[in-house]
Amino acid sequence: MADPNLSATPPQAISTLPSKPPFWNDPQKRALVFQILLVIGIGLLLWFIFSNTLHNLDKRGIKTGFDFLDRPAGFGITQSLIPYTEASTFGRTFLVGLLNTLLVAGLGIIFATLLGFAVGVARLSKNWLISRVALVFIETIRNIPPLLQILFWYRAILPLLPGPKDSISLAELFYLHKRGFTLPSPLFEPAFIWTFWAVIAALVLAFIMSRWAKARREKTGQQFPVVWTAVGIILVLPLITFFLTGSPLNWDIPALSGFNFRGGLTVIPELTALLLALSIYTAAFIAEIVRSGIESVSKGQSEAAASLGLRPNRTLQLVIIPQAMRVIIPQLTSQYLNLTKNTSLGVAIGYPDLVNVFAGTTLNQTGQAVEIIFMTMLVYLVISLVISLFMNWYNKRMALVER
């Protein structure tokens, strides 16, 4: 089967192969060129939008730039986590609003998770009454828009409380009234810093202890009461420091004077209403997520665990929950993101969050809509991305490790 051509072609092929095809025939290089062109195109478009906006604002005599952040704001804000007065700058109002948003989002996520897990487990309860109550709760709450729920708490429930002068009082320390919940606030003396450091030290110690216990268990198989030791360290160490430094903590007791309570700390009703509504609303969704997560773990898993001799609570802890978490976490992330974004609904009841204080009052006082709305959108984007990144990291840790 000798073909004269066969012997003739190889040298030819060898000589043509190394000479590369032109780059437009190379799919990889071509793709690269297109991608670079696309990036340049998008960059130009963004630049065009940016410069065009600036040009148009300038033409209409509207001020631009971020100088306004250094100008005094001149208005008051009901609730501020950092010192704020009317003489503070607009930049400060941005921080105040941002912290107020984070406060609601953070507390809301904690409450919604706790309540959601409780209701989700209750929904699976073998007790008919408990599971039905959970079902009715979920179905009702999930299907009412969050804004209505916020208004319900703020307009219908909280105004039923008495005015500050006839507050519901508990031991003359805690007062519940129309304008909020007033409670004693702590006054830290300088020496309290030692107690604070003791807490940090105790946390570090507890962490080291748990690492050591884990290493020992993996080596020798011996158990160590990690949880109880940790609780002991975290409670006892700061307490001893606290008393050794002479109990450097006083309480500012609220007292009625004039129109309102003086002293103490007042949780404003806007915060209460927003927190209640958002936590309950999101909890209803989380409950369903938890239920679906637990139900996704096949029955065989718990049976297998039982046949290995694991007690039911150990089965839940070691077998069911780790597998359920894989289903729960990604969905939980989107609920956390929803809750965070829903905090902006607080503007309807005058809660001083970022949208209200910054994208509202500050925008109106300065008139610089483009900069302010841009900053506000950026903040929500960053908060959402941070939550997503954290949850993705946590999800990776919890994901099933296949060996």
Partner 1 sequence: MKSAKTLAVAGLLSASFAMPAAHAGATLDAVKKNDAVKCGINTPFPGFANQDEKGNWSGLDIDVCRAVAAAIFGDPNKVKFTSLTAKERFTALQSGEVDMLSRNSTGTLSRDTGLGLTFVAPNYYDGQGFLVKKSLNVKSAKELDGASVCIQSGTTTELNLADYFRANNMKFEPITYEKLDEVTKAFDEGRCDVLTSDQSQLYSNRITLKDPEGAVVLPEVISKEPLGPFVRQGDDEWLKIVRWSYYAMVEAEDLGVTSANAEEMTKSTDPNIKRFLGMEEGGDANLPLDKKWAYNIVKMVGNYGESFERSVGQGSPLKINRGLNALWKNGGLQYSPPFR
Q: Measured from the CB atom, is 288 or 353 closer to partner 1?
A: 353
Q: Which two tokens stand for residue 403?
A: 């060996």
Q: Measured from the CB atom, is 132 or 262 closer to partner 1?
A: 262
Instruction: In angstroms, give the least distance from the CB of 187 to partner 1.
Output: 19
Q: Measured from the CB atom, is 46 or 318 closer to partner 1?
A: 46
Residues that bind partner 1 (CB under 8 A): 45, 48-49, 52-53, 56-57, 59-63, 74-78, 86-87, 155, 159, 163, 178-179, 257-260, 262, 269, 347-350, 352, 356, 360-361, 363-367, 369-370
Q: Measured from the CB atom, is 338 or 365 closer to partner 1?
A: 365
Q: Measured from the CB atom, is 73 or 109 closer to partner 1?
A: 73
Instruction: In angstroms, give the least distance from the CB of 182 to partner 1.
Output: 12
Q: Strand, helix or coil at 325?
A: helix
First-last CA distance in the chain: 53
Q: Beta strands 174-177 and 180-183: pairing type?
A: antiparallel
- CA distance linking residue 189 with residue 198, whole number of Å: 15
- Residue count of the chain, please give it: 403
Instruction: In angstroms, give the least distance from the CB of 385 to partner 1.
Output: 19
Q: Measured from the CB atom, is 98 or 115 closer to partner 1?
A: 98
Instruction: In angstroms, give the least distance from the CB of 73 to partner 1.
Output: 9
Instruction: In angstroms, give the least distance from the CB of 248 to partner 1.
Output: 28
Q: Which region, left, alpha or beta, applies to residue 172 given φ > 0 means left and ψ of -120 to 50 means alpha?
A: left
Q: Which two tokens stand for residue 322?
A: 């780790």
Q: Which amino acid is at 380?
A: Y
What's CA 403's distance to the chain center, in Å? Answer: 33
Q: Measured from the CB atom, is 42 or 240 closer to partner 1?
A: 42
Cβ neighbours, 10 Å, residue 150? 24
Q: Measured from the CB atom, is 57 or 99 closer to partner 1?
A: 57
Q: Measured from the CB atom, is 44 or 240 closer to partner 1?
A: 44
Instruction: In angstroms, give the least distance from the CB of 369 to partner 1.
Output: 5
Q: Which two tokens stand for residue 14?
A: 């060898």
Q: Measured from the CB atom, is 44 or 244 closer to partner 1?
A: 44
Burial of 38 (0-12, 13-18, 19+ CB in 10 A): exposed
Following CA atoms 54, 56, 62, 67 in sequence, which dihedral angle do they give, to the nearest 10 degrees?
A: 0
Instruction: In angstroms, give the least distance from the CB of 46 to partner 1.
Output: 9
Instruction: In angstroms, give the least distance from the CB of 363 to partner 1.
Output: 7
Provide the 8-state DSSP code for 359: I
Instruction: In angstroms, give the least distance from the CB of 253 to partner 1.
Output: 17
Burial of 382 (0-12, 13-18, 19+ CB in 10 A): exposed
Cα angle 374-355-261, degrees, rounded to a multiple of 5: 150
Give the residue among 153, 96, 63, 111 at the shortest CA–CA distance from 355.
96
Instruction: In angstroms, give the least distance from the CB of 41 to partner 1.
Output: 10
- CA distance linking residue 98 with residue 356, whole number of Å: 10
Q: Measured from the CB atom, is 31 or 157 closer to partner 1?
A: 157
- CA distance linking residue 188 with residue 162, whole number of Å: 32
Facing residues of 244 across strands?
Answer: none
Instruction: In angstroms, give the least distance from the CB of 168 to partner 1.
Output: 15
Q: Which two tokens stand for residue 195?
A: 């107690």
Q: Strand, helix or coil at 179?
A: coil
